[in-house]
Amino acid sequence: MLAHVLSGAVVGLDGVKITVEVDYNPRSMASFTIVGLPGTAVQESRERVRSAIRNIGCEFPMKRFTVNLAPGDMRKEGPAYDLPIAIGVLVATEQLRADQIADAMFIGELALDGKLRHICGAINLALLARQEGCRTLYVPVEDAPEAAQIDGIEVIPVPSLGHLVEHLFGMNPIPPFERSQLRQETAITPERVVDFAQIKGQEYVKRAMEVAAAGNHNVLLVGPPGAGKTLIARALPGILPPLAPDEALEITRIYSVADLLPSDRPLARRRPFRAPHYTISQAGLVGGGSSPRPGELTLAHRGVLYLDELVEFGHKLEVLRQPLEDKTVTISRANGSLTFPANVMLVGSMNPCPCGYYGDTLQACTCGESAVRRYQQRLSGPILDRFDIHLDIRRVDYDKLTNQQLAEASERVQARVTAARERQRARYGMDSSIRANSDLTATEIDQHCPITEDAAVLLQNAMRRLSLSARAYHRVLKLSRTIADLDGVEQISLTHVAEAVQYRSRLMTATQA
């Protein structure tokens, strides 16, 4: 008998329909063959399925079984096909009826005793099930809260294969997962939450970070050791606006595929903050592998990617150039390409020289001018050009460090940032792909960045004196647009452009920034 069971695979971040076909031939010698480009984990499903079916008290005849995973031209990886293969075997051997599994999708890894184990990408497969018109999705109990984030489909949390068989026969029904059980908690949090009120002094820097957060602009922090660069970067997530529902779903899908989403907190509630070490590989930074997976760039989507000791990343930074412009990263392999989202706010920090004290007012730099230049030249001009805001971080005075009066709290700064973002969403439309001013293209800049005559004159002079590239010119305009949004005005004036120009690079090697 031939059985058809619907399942799915996650390719990149998207679900792809997989039809599991099981053919049972009782007149042939015993064999269990899986075809359709199965990976090693899928090939091993034979042993897990055989043991699970027998251990729940069902029959597994020692005859010929042929399992086809269609489409046959796509590589199948992972153990999530265990459950649909087992269901297909039971239907093919007439231990289940085909009508009992109609309009349903099955995903899950089987233990040898028939229990179901966690799989990756449950929310992505729930989206696929809804798109395919399925009424029911059967998933492991641990993955039910995540899958239930998708409306319009009934999610059945399955503890074991035996319990599922009883459910299909109506003997021991499994109640659908109730969405009212979902906990409204944070799925992704920064390693440390720093309040702006805890940062002593640095008023100029905090103002610049507020501007960066309001427009989702990239920031480069340059200063001596101990000046507070990392502290400032870690405070940034606290002033970013809350996630919109569609943004939360985007982040959840990414973290589900990467298997970084806790089962008891199935929906992202805060923007991600990723801070990889500079020893990370290129594939770890932008994604990759034989079966491409999201890298840190994608894991920071709609949030902050913080690169401390930026110079030490070396040539690996060059792979960020195109993704930072396109807001996506494309990974190409011989058998096809995958595109991951990568709309991040990039924050980098570095010392100005090898010893770290070039330009410091209290400690003399021990590096020569040539050593400083060689050190700074490790950052290419195109990479520097992709930072909208360049900040010189200075030491904090003793009087400010010992001042017991708290500065403005992150909550108040976040309110202003959120108001500026709302002005941007209203300007560009709620359905627009533009979420912040940093997303504007050159054509859209001409449309949405009206500028006064005196401001235009200042910008023209700045281009000549600072040797600004065309990209830097557009970044200054976008930055000016954000500053005007914080002021609640539509037209960009002289003061807005003047502040934006002040944020351009002062590094020795920044000939194009």
Residue 509 maps to a domain: no
Question: pLDDT value at position 40?
Answer: 93
23: left (phi over 0), alpha (psi -120 to 50) or beta: beta
- C-alpha 285/C-alpha 294 separation (Å) is 9
Beta-bridge partners for 65: 24, 32
Q: Is the dihedral of CA 444, 455, 345, 198 positive or negative?
A: negative
Written as one letter, the residue type at 165 is V
Long-range contacts from 103-106, C-beta under 8 angstroms, 24+ separation: 103/133, 103/134, 103/135, 103/136, 104/6, 104/134, 104/135, 104/136, 104/137, 104/138, 105/6, 105/7, 105/8, 105/129, 105/132, 105/134, 105/136, 105/137, 105/138, 106/5, 106/6, 106/7, 106/138
Question: pLDDT value at position 188?
Answer: 44
Q: Are residues 145 and 212 in the same domain?
A: no
Cα separation values, 113 from 21, 47, 49, 52, 110, Å: 23, 12, 10, 5, 8
Predicted confidence pLDDT, tens digits, the chain (513 residues): 899 999 999 998 999 999 999 999 998 889 999 999 999 999 999 999 999 999 999 999 999 999 999 999 999 999 999 999 999 999 999 999 999 999 999 999 999 999 999 999 999 999 999 999 999 999 999 999 999 999 999 999 999 999 999 999 999 999 999 887 765 544 444 445 788 888 888 889 999 999 999 999 999 999 999 888 999 999 999 999 999 999 999 999 999 999 998 766 788 888 999 999 999 999 999 998 777 889 999 999 999 999 999 999 999 999 999 999 999 999 987 777 899 999 999 999 999 999 999 988 888 899 988 999 999 999 998 899 899 999 999 888 777 777 777 788 999 999 999 999 999 999 998 777 888 999 999 889 989 999 999 999 999 998 888 888 888 899 999 999 999 999 999 999 999 999 999 998 666 544 333
CATH number of the structural domain spanning residue 214: 3.40.50.300
Residue 444 phi, psi dihedral angles, 5° rounding: -70, -30
Written as one letter, the residue type at 133 is G
The tally of domains found in the chain comes to: 2
- Give me the residue label for tokens 């599922």: 164
Q: Are residues 122 and 19 in the same domain?
A: yes
Tell me which residue range forms the domain holding 428: 196-435
Q: Are residues 102 and 174 in the same domain?
A: yes
Residue 391 maps to a domain: yes
Beta-bridge partners for 345: 304
Residues 6+ away with beta carbon under 8 Å from 309: 278, 349, 350, 351
Residue 169 maps to a domain: yes
Q: Are residues 166 and 91 in the same domain?
A: yes
Question: pLDDT value at position 116?
Answer: 97
What is this structure's pTM? 0.90
Residue 486 maps to a domain: no
Burial class of residue 181, CB neighbours in 10 A (0-12, 13-18, 19+): exposed
Q: Is the dihedral of CA 182, 184, 186, 188 positive or negative?
A: positive
Question: pLDDT value at position 185?
Answer: 45
Q: Are residues 177 and 259 in the same domain?
A: no
Question: pLDDT value at position 510?
Answer: 46
Cα separation values, 186 from 215, 242, 243, 261, 472, Å: 24, 12, 11, 10, 37
Q: Are residues 279 and 155 in the same domain?
A: no
Question: pLDDT value at position 183?
Answer: 55
Q: Are residues 291 and 393 in the same domain?
A: yes
Question: Pairing between strand 345-350 and 219-222?
Answer: parallel
- C-alpha 434/C-alpha 439 separation (Å) is 5
Q: Are residues 393 and 347 in the same domain?
A: yes
Q: Are residues 336 and 383 in the same domain?
A: yes
Q: Are residues 104 and 176 in the same domain?
A: yes
Q: Are residues 9 and 62 in the same domain?
A: yes
CB 158 within 8 A of CB 164: yes
- Adjacency order of strands within the sheet including 64-70: 31-35, 64-70, 14-25, 2-11, 104-106, 136-140, 154-158
Q: Are residues 144 and 208 in the same domain?
A: no
CATH number of the structural domain spanning residue 86: 3.30.230.10
Question: pLDDT value at position 335?
Answer: 73
Question: pLDDT value at position 186?
Answer: 41
